[in-house]
C-alpha cells in the first residue's frame, strides 16, 4: 500500500506475489531471506503494474514513479540489513548507536546514561558505526 498508494492495486500485487512465490519455490536459491525474495517479487510486480498504467499516463511520469518505488524498496531492504547487523552488535555499541540514531540523544546525554563522559559516547558511537559498516560490507 505504501508503494503503490492504491488499496486494490496493493491487494492484487500482494496476491500475485504470493502466487508467484508458491509456483516458483524451486527457483528460490536461498542466497537471501525469504522476506527479501518476496519483496523483490512484489517490487517487480509493482514496476510491471506501473509500466502498464504508464501507457495511458505518459512514460516520463511513470519512470520517475518507478525509480521512486525502486529506491524506496532498496531503502527498506538496506534498513532491514542494518537492523539485522545491529541486532548482532555487542553492547555497549548497540545501545549507544540506538540511543544516538533512534533516540536522537546528544552525546552528553548518552554519556550521562552510562555514567561516562561525552567523549566516551562519541568514541563508542564512532566505533559502532565502523563495526556496522564493516559487517555490512562483509555481508554484501
Per-residue pLDDT of 79-105, as tens digits, reads 777 778 888 888 888 888 888 887 888
14 with 59, same domain: the answer is yes
CB 98, CB 121: distance < 8 Å:
no
Answer whether 97's CB lies under 8 Å from 86's CB.
yes
* Mean pLDDT in residue range 18-33: 72
Whole-number Å distance between alpha carbons of 34 and 31: 9
95 and 43 share a domain? no
Highest mean pLDDT among 6-20, 28-42, 53-67, 109-123: 109-123
37 within a domain of the structure (yes/no): yes
Q: Would you call 61 helix, strand, or coil by DSSP?
A: helix
Average pLDDT over residues 27-47: 74
Residue 84 lies in a domain: no
In a domain, 82, yes or no: no
Same domain, 140 and 96: yes
Domain with 129 in it: 89-140
Question: Total domain count for the chain?
Answer: 2
Q: Name the residue with higher pLDDT: 86 or 26.
A: 86
Q: What is the pLDDT of residue 59?
A: 46
Residue 68 has pLDDT above 70, yes or no: no
Does residue 83 sit within a domain?
no
State whether 24 and 48 are in the same domain.
yes
Helix axes 93-101, 107-114, angle to 10 degrees: 140
Residues 98, 86 contacting (CB under 8 angstroms): yes
Predicted TM-score (pTM) of the model is 0.47
Residues 59 and 95 in one domain: no
Mean pLDDT computed over 21-41: 72
Q: Cβ of 13: how many Cβ atoms within 10 Å?
A: 22
Amino acid at each position: 500500500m505504501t508503494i503503490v498508494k492504491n488499496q486494490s492495486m496493493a491487494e492484487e500485487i500482494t496476491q500475485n506475489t504470493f502466487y508467484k512465490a508458491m509456483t516458483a519455490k524451486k527457483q528460490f536459491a536461498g542466497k537471501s531471506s525469504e522476506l527479501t525474495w518476496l519483496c523483490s517479487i512484489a517490487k517487480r510486480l509493482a514496476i510491471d503494474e506501473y509500466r502498464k498504467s504508464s501507457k495511458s499516463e505518459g512514460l516520463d511520469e511513470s519512470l520517475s514513479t518507478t525509480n521512486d518505488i525502486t529506491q524506496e524498496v532498496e531503502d527498506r531492504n538496506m534498513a532491514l540489513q542494518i537492523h539485522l547487523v545491529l541486532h548482532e552488535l555487542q553492547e555497549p555499541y548497540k545501545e549507544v548507536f540506538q540511543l544516538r540514531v533512534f533516540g536522537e540523544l546528544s552525546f552528553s546525554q548518552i554519556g550521562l546514561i552510562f555514567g561516562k563522559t561525552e567523549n566516551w559516547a562519541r568514541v563508542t558511537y564512532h566505533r559502532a558505526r565502523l563495526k556496522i559498516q564493516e559487517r555490512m560490507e562483509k555481508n554484501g
